[in-house]
Amino acid sequence: MFEFGRDIRKLFGEARDSDDLGWLELIGIDLLAVEARALTTDGGRVSCRQPGRTWLRASALWREHARRTGHRDSLAKALATAEDAAKASTTEDDTARSGLARALALLVSFDLFGDRETLEEAAHAARETRPRRLATLATSAGVHARIRARQARLSDTSADRLDAAALMDAALTAALKHNPAEADELRLDSAALALEGGILQRDPRLLDQAGRDLKALVEASSPDTRPLTRARALALCGAGLSALATMADDAGAIEAGHAMFEAAADQFTPDHSPMDWVAIQVARAVDPATPAAALTQAEALTTGRGTVLGALAVDLLIAREVERAIDAGDLIALTRIETRIRRCLAERAGPPSAVDWAVDQIAMARVMIARAGLMDADPGQAAFVLSEAAEAVRDHGVPVLADRAKGLMLGLAVRA
């Protein structure tokens, strides 16, 4: 007879020992941290038979915890346990796997906080590995491809994007053959690269490719077993549809994009994976018709973390506040917004990150531009402030914020 409690625990224990870490999507961030701590402790025990393998798994769990929460200390633990695994390595292949774990932790850091130097460090860590086994070679190919995709998106040239796409295709083929559990991350990165390239270049082939890949990933990811993978794929579908709908002024496509975002958000609760939930809210809030309540919650979930997503949420909220003040012709409301921004600047402990500094500058520029518009006056230093902010975040590796600043600069140029 099936003994529910005991057999569930047995299945969970077997999943823990599996190379497929997809089961992590089913547990919340608190339990994820508990599991990561347990593995970190187990790896240091004298009785541990495979400390290197145990620390590698701990690194993977800390990495996932950081990705879902934006906690810097979890990233630090992911890097530390990867280093512990390297010290415990007994073969060149084990050393390679620990080096790749370090590269992946740095990649998560770049995705969360930006910083080109972090991305270069990840690339260096991956290049230094010397894998031997086919499975480790396939993992290495995937790590190199994911890094190259981000580098290509920063370079913003078609040739680099094509090279990255080719590398991604080869890595995905290798993963499907030797490490199928690692294929989903590659599929998501590949689809994101194709989708962004298709929108920028207005290339229907890239858009069709991204659509096919995301459709297949959604269909293959059950909400009962892979809710986060499914949600990420649905959110990418929504972002793509929304971007295309805006360009084509297609109301039907806009509604379809909204439905995709709704479906993505319904896959899990905000406390299960805060950063995934925030990413969905930030993506959907680009549409001014989207209610601000979820965006306010997204900003609250990321306060004090210094993440790119948190910065985007803050910028979107301030943009909405400023728009409301403009619509009401309320100069006092603009002054209140400006006062609050200055207070936050004064109360911030330590020097701001490039991302936080840029968001503050963009916010001040929004107020300058709005006040000038209401008073039929010159916007003063707004263009200079925006130019400085755009350059800072572009150099830091966060082009999405740079594009926000440049969009405001273009608006100034049109008004002039």
Each residue of 369-400: pLDDT tens digit? 999 999 988 888 999 999 999 999 999 999 99
Q: Report how far residue 396's alpha carbon sits from residue 58's, in angstroms, rounded to the nearest whole number.
A: 29
Residue 132 to residue 138: CA distance in whole angstroms = 10
Average pLDDT over the chain reads 89
Percent of the chain past pLDDT 70, that is, above it, reads 94
The CA distance from 283 to 344, in Å, is: 25
Give residue 212's pLDDT. Answer: 85
**pLDDT at residue 20, as a whole number:** 72
Angle at 212 between CA 207 and CA 213, to 5 degrees: 100
How do residues 188-236 score in pLDDT, each as one tens digit?
A: 999 999 988 888 888 778 888 888 888 889 998 999 999 999 999 999 9
Please check the confidence at residue 297 and state whether its pLDDT lies above 80.
yes
Is residue 254 predicted with pLDDT exceeding 60? yes
Reported as a single tens digit per residue, the pLDDT across 68-101 is 999 999 999 999 999 999 999 999 999 999 999 9
Distance (Å, whole) CA 252 – CA 159: 34
pLDDT at 8: 41
CA angle 206, 209, 211 (to 5 degrees): 110
Q: What is the mean pLDDT of residues 267-292?
A: 90
Mean pLDDT of 328-357: 89
Would you state the pLDDT for residue 45? 93
Distance between CA atoms of residues 316 and 309, nearest Å: 11
- Give the burial class of 67: count Cβ atoms within 10 A of its Cβ; 0-12 exposed, 13-18 middle, 19 or more buried: buried
Instruction: Give the pair of three-digit tokens for residue 43.
Output: 């790896």
Burial class (CB in 10 A: 0-12, 13-18, 19+), 367: buried
* pLDDT(7) > 50: no
User: DSSP of 303-363, one letter per residue?
Assistant: TTT--HHHHHHHHHHHHHHHHHHHHHT-HHHHHHHHHHHHHHHHH--SPPPHHHHHHHHHH
| Arithmetic mean of pLDDT, 167-191 | 93
Question: Whose structure tokens read 């077997």?
Answer: 14
Cα Rg for the chain, rounded, in angstroms?
A: 23
Distance, in Å, from the CA atom of 266 to the CA atom of 28, rounded to the nearest integer, reads 15
What mean pLDDT comes out for the span 103-130?
97
Do 149 and 188 form a contact (C-beta atoms < 8 A)? no
Phi-psi region of 18 (alpha: psi -120 to 50; beta: other; left: phi over 0): beta
The CA-based angle 146-149-153, given to 5 degrees, is: 145
Mean per-residue pLDDT, 253-277: 90
Say whether 61 sits in a helix, a strand or coil: helix
DSSP 8-state symbol, 226: -
13, pLDDT greater than 60 = no
Q: Residue 404 is encoded by which pair of tokens?
A: 């926000």
8 Å CB contact between 311 and 359: yes
Q: Which residues contact 388 (CB under 8 A, 6 or more apart)?
A: 361
Return the closest-CA partner of residue 198 out of 169, 234, 237: 237
| Residue 9 predicted with pLDDT over 50 | no
Q: Which two tokens stand for residue 166?
A: 């080719």
Tell me the pTM.
0.92
pLDDT tens-digit map of 139-157: 999 999 999 999 999 987 8
Q: Give yes or no for residue 6 having a pLDDT over 70.
A: no
What's the rounded mean pLDDT across residues 47-65? 95
pLDDT at 247: 72
Mean pLDDT of 355-360: 93
Query: According to the model, what pLDDT value does residue 3 have?
Result: 45
* pLDDT (0 to 100) of residue 2: 36
Q: pLDDT value at position 144?
A: 97
Long-range CB contacts (within 8 A, 24+) of 127-130 = 128/99, 129/95, 129/96, 129/97, 129/99, 129/100, 129/103, 130/92, 130/95, 130/96
